[in-house]
Structure 1
Amino acid sequence: MTLLRPIFAALVLALTSAIQPAAFAQSPGAGQATQDKTVNICALMKPKQGQADALRQSLLALVTPTSSEEGHISYNLFEENNGSIFLHEVWRSQEDLERHFQKPYIKDFVSRTSTLLDGENEAHFGRVISSLSNAKFSERDAQQPGAVHICSIKRPRPGKADELRQALLSLAQPTSQEEGYITYNLYEEKDGSLFLYEAWRSRADLDAHFQKPYIKDFQAKVGALAERNDVRFGKYIPASPAH
């Protein structure tokens, strides 16, 4: 479900990341549905004019304290070409996430977001239904400057939620056989909407993926299945120059 909240509530529920060891460890098998209690988040943020660097630095300042919290699994930031940022975050449980919201550094960040964001923060919360990781790649590979990361939001048309879900799940197995795929995770929200987090070794690998027959077939029919198909492409933002 797409949650467009006031800036305060949205950012409290949307400080995220991806590509930590857990992004690779939670791999039950190609296309295999999973059941767990993790809270998975994709948040989309657009900075106000002139505030891109301030937003980036404010989010990066949260990485170290967040990574030391009980229940934290993953927190990573990605920057789009236009300066917008998306985050992919994973927590062990809803209880862990709620404790996170109460931390002083989170409350301080939230108090400053009205000066940083253009409009509202869009946060998506879902359960993992398929999680795939390529064993030949490491976390460091996913953090290389040439790697491409995707957050994709899919809101089904009325009556098409199951068909959209199955169409996306059917892509997992062939995608897992591709050269250059690092991670392909699919999440489902409470209203049947879906979002994906993907990571690819390079733009060339991703371009080759888009030319696969099963991807072209999905692209040809996604308009009939989804009333929203929003795909964001970003580069990993390192926590420090040496990260």
Structure 2
Amino acid sequence: MTNTDRPIALYGFLRPRPEHADEVRNILSSFVEPTRQEPGNLQYHLHEQEDGRFFLYEVWHSQEDLDRHNETPPLRAFLENLSTFLEAAPEGYFDTMLSPYPEPEPAART
């Protein structure tokens, strides 16, 4: 399996400015279900840390799928205003997965 055959994982932390914490929570939460419906999305999770940071974990079938996601208008609007919402640049990581992504089990027929 080549690197291009492996899923792409993107994960990181965002620290909102205190006065924008609720707004950032609402914006990020609004991305979850639509993103999970996008072609090529394998996982999309949002967590809130005790210290107020948000942690995102995404897995995409391919770089092309992630690139397409990154061009969606709601995400573009948020990214273009990051300095308004966040105390510092996001702490992000982007990697090709080494472990195989599990194939979904076939749906049971009744």
TM-score, normalised relative to structure 1: 0.38
CA contact (8 A) 2:32 2:46 kept: no
Q: Give the alignment partner of residue 89 of structure 1, picking from 51, 58, 66.
A: 58
What root-mean-square deviation, in Å, do the aligned CA atoms of Structure 1 and Structure 2 show? 2.0
Q: Give the alignment partner of residue 115 of structure 1, picking from 76, 84, 87.
A: 84
Name the residue aligned to 1:58.
27
Give secondary structure in 1 for the equivalent of 2:94: strand
**Which structure 2 residues correspond to residues 173-184 of structure 1 after superposition, within 5 A?**
none
Name the residue aligned to 2:108.
none
| Partner Cα separation in structure 1 for residue 81 and residue 101 of structure 2 | 36
- Aligned letter for 1:106? L
Mark the CA change 1:69 to 1:132 in structure 2 (over 3 Å): closer, same or farther: closer
Determine what percentage of the aligned residue pairs are the same residue. Answer: 35
Give secondary structure in 2 for the equivalent of 1:118: coil
What count of residue pairs does the alignment treat as equivalent? 99
* Unpaired stretches in structure 2, ≥5 consecutive residues: 103-110
Name the residue aligned to 2:69.
100
Residue-by-residue CA offset, 1:30-57 (whole Å, 9 max, x unaligned): xxxxx74211011111111222211111
Select the structure of larger CA radius of gyration: 1
Mark the CA change 1:119 to 1:67 in structure 2 (over 3 Å): closer, same or farther: same
Greater share of helix residues, 1 or 2? 2
CA drift of 1:112 comes to 2.8
Moved over 6 A (4+): none
| Partner Cα separation in structure 1 for residue 68 and residue 92 of structure 2 | 18
Name the residue aligned to 1:74.
43
Ranked by relative contact order (alpha carbons within 8 Å, sequence separation 6 or more), the top structure is 2
* Unpaired stretches in structure 1, ≥5 consecutive residues: 1-34, 134-243
